[in-house]
Structure 1
């Protein structure tokens, strides 16, 4: 049974997890279903065991912290400890293939691993480095991602989730022939007849970080006096957002819901009239598809990249060109019930065309091909 090792800095149980972690674990589960043995190595976090077997039979190893997980991944590989517990007779301690998930900082596994590597990149972080870090750290991070990474992975196959990211990788010198699209799929249950809120309701779902630019959603709320906004998620930027809402005079119409359960998340997406995705950059935008499953259209910024694949502009949602346009398009959807309903219906149909089974099949074919080509 081939053993595949996923390297990702977080798992879905991490308080700071996002769409990348959902994608990693769903793809890993699909590979297990196709006969592969899969281990996910990620960082430790409070309240989670060092080793765990998920219901999908994916094995999880939590090693190191936010910054040391990269070194611990290398040491675990070199020590032959990329497995859970005791090995079965005849099993090998090192994987047959590595899926190296790069979230800005690459694991650089080809430097130490003597097996094939498939690289997964959701989006290029060019714009995010200066927003999150600034100064020398930002320049170093971008150099690592844009210069060092492509050099180290020069013989590897790449996987990405959107045409926008594929184009950006090509700009960094990655041949298009080595880049495969494996889209995200529909996450969570759909809802054939959503029970909408009685008042114009806007929803933002995700981590509260500077590059998510939730301030634009608050600006829109200030310009739409009849609307209310739910912000579901947590992160260190929340106090700044609360202060900003107070300055704008919209604190009484803003609900900071914090972390919400899966059930509550889907209730909010069903109740909402429009989902807002004001992020600076997204590889795809799982929130868009989750909302679409409930017939809820989304508004995002065209410049955010992968959202241009997740939203069919003018059909399943709207893409804005600037902050003013963002507000105008939200206002349009809130005031035009017929258009909002049509886009919601089209969004649901579009979301249902993406399945994890299809994504898993595509990834399985890619990893099998990479393993067969290995010396």
Structure 2
């Protein structure tokens, strides 16, 4: 449990004063898992910076098919074994039996199903919780299992996490987690994620108005809604184009939907892109968008902002803080607003560039060094003096 005042200092001094030198991170999926997403990228960036400052970090995740069990990555270790669901039993057992060695602190990534770390560790610990998963259970599991998962997340797990400091990514997610899970908002700490320095500003927009949507292709991302919105825009701006970047379990459904359209020539499905090509897409886009039902943040939106591109996103917790409405882009509450905002940004290259410039300026506040330092500050506050 944290004290009222968090320890002061930069990351180096926090590590030295806390004497937290070995950290175990429990996480559902590894960064290399085909189904990994923003949650895995977030913890990777934090661990990478901790490791560069001398902290020995070890991840314990589920197995990655046809890949090595133990790997070294960016200065930390990742132990990848157990099945998709059995990892929630096997990983806690590893802690109880000290199978992975002794650690000074434990960090849990609570991604729907928790590892229940408050029951198995008494030392310094925190949990990363990007958002509650209420509406996503029905999309991921058959109804009986979805109901069980949602009940456990909302009614059972929170009781055990009352004294565990929670890190979330936005103020809107903090409010939602407190309201839905019943956790004390004073114990939920907002640490905004960063943006890699490789994402550079550019005004080199595509010749035709271009909308880009990027991320894991999951049902809750509602890519079909993006397609439908841009299709409506094309009745007024017939040369508008759409690029869909990413892969995932819903890809076949999206392709079927696109193939049902009378004209699909304006849509490109790019699959997973290397970072340099992703940056190029962000820079060429007039708008980057998300119609997701649930997010803890909108990492593609802030990455695009850093590249000088405005965003249009659904008005949900997470998006509400990763888009500055009227400055870095716009939030929409329904499809009528969605189409209206798309029309306003795709109607003029100059408008797109000007709002993109404002988005870039606004995004300068987000750095991974700051995110890693503030996350460790909270972890250090749990160390008993």
Q: TM-score, normalised by structure 2?
A: 0.90
Q: Deviations over 1:238-296 (max 9, x none)?
A: 11111111223242211111111111111111111111111111111110011111101
- The correspondence for 2:312, drawn from 278, 291, 299, is 299
More relative contact order, 1 or 2 (CA 8 Å, 6+ apart)? 2
- The correspondence for 2:131, drawn from 123, 129, 147, is 123
Structure 1 counterpart of 2:90: 72
Residue 224 of structure 2 corresponds to residue 215 of structure 1: yes
Aligned to 1:17, what secondary structure does the other structure show?
coil
After the TM superposition, which residues 1-375 of structure 1 pair with which residues of structure 2 at under 5 Å, given as runs?
2-55=21-74, 57-82=75-100, 93-133=101-141, 135-171=143-179, 172-187=181-196, 189-223=198-232, 224=234, 225-302=238-315, 304-372=316-384
Structure 2 counterpart of 1:90: none
Inter-partner Cα distance in structure 2 for 1:141 and 1:75:
21
Inter-partner Cα distance in structure 2 for 1:229 and 1:65:
37
Inter-partner Cα distance in structure 2 for 1:259 and 1:19:
14
Aligned to 2:379, what secondary structure does the other structure show?
helix
Extract unaligned runs of 5+ from structure 1.
83-92
Aligned to 1:230, what secondary structure does the other structure show?
strand
Q: Deviations over 1:322-372 (max 9, x none)?
A: 012111111110003333222111111122211111111111211111123
Inter-partner Cα distance in structure 1 for 2:141 and 2:98:
35
Q: Are the equivalent residues in 1 in contact too, given 2:201–2:283 (CA < 8 A)?
A: no
Aligned length: 361
Inter-partner Cα distance in structure 2 for 1:115 and 1:365:
15
Inter-partner Cα distance in structure 2 for 1:209 and 1:333:
26
Q: TM-score, normalised by structure 1?
A: 0.92
Return the offset for 1:122. 0.4
Aligned to 2:307, what secondary structure does the other structure show?
coil
Return the offset for 1:178. 0.8
Return the offset for 1:211. 0.3
Inter-partner Cα distance in structure 2 for 1:226 and 1:198:
10
